[in-house]
Amino acid sequence: MTEANSGHPFPPGMSRPALQALEVAGITTLEDVARHSEAELLKLHGFGPKSIRILRPALEQIGLAFAESGKKQ
């Protein structure tokens, strides 16, 4: 996936608060996102369900998925 939205590697449509939440958590790539469950990401301040809906197909496109709840990959 090419970098979009101001040079970050996440898909278009992600809100600034969601992007900042990922950055603060040290999550900088889709591979990093896949190491976390949806529930873990939703606990980040500024990260909501819309971001999950945007990230899910981006992960699937590169053969990845969110980690299972309670299991970090």
| Answer CATH for 16-61 from 1.10.3470, 1.10.10, 1.10.150, 3.10.50 | 1.10.150
Whether the CB-CB separation of 66 and 56 falls below 8 Å is answered with: yes
Q: What average pLDDT does this structure show over 65-73?
A: 74
User: What is the structure's pLDDT at 9?
Assistant: 86
pLDDT score, position 8: 67
Compute CA 3 distance to the chain's CA centroid, rounded to the nearest angstrom: 14
Give CA 56 to chain center in angstroms: 8
- The pLDDT, as a whole number, for residue 70 is 59
- What is this structure's pTM? 0.83
Q: 6: which DSSP letter?
A: T
Q: Nearest to residue 37, comparing CAs of 66, 17, 5? A: 66
Opening angle at CA 4, ends 41 and 30, nearest 5: 35
- N-terminal to C-terminal alpha carbon distance within the chain: 21
Tens of pLDDT, residue by residue over 25-48, are: 999 999 999 999 999 999 999 999
Domain map (residue ranges) of the chain: 16-61
